[in-house]
Amino acid sequence: MDLDLLQRIQVDVIETCATSGIMVKKNTEKGHPEYLHAPISLFPLVYPADLLQQALEMQPDMGLMIGSII
């Protein structure tokens, strides 16, 4: 992939995060907030099928646990 194209895509994605509110607050001095885009990936990552299956199996229990806290 052309490096210039990749850089343009990166800038577009970061700007999309800013306009969509996908930002996180950076720890700074009180009264001087600074925001960064949330961690993102430009392209899909390989995810092992066995770990995906494990996550899917754990999801209902995790949902119950989190729901009981809230």
Written as six digits, the tokens of 41 are: 């990936």
The percent helix, strand, coil of the chain (3-state, each to 5) is 55, 10, 35
| C-alpha–C-alpha distance, residues 11 and 26, integer Å | 20
The mean per-residue pLDDT over the stretch 9-33 comes to 87
Q: Is the pLDDT score of 26 beyond 80?
A: yes
Per-residue model confidence (pLDDT) at position 40: 86
The mean per-residue pLDDT over the stretch 29-56 comes to 87
Q: Is the pLDDT score of 70 beyond 80?
A: no
- Neighbouring C-beta atoms of residue 45, cutoff 10 Å: 5
- DSSP label at 47? -
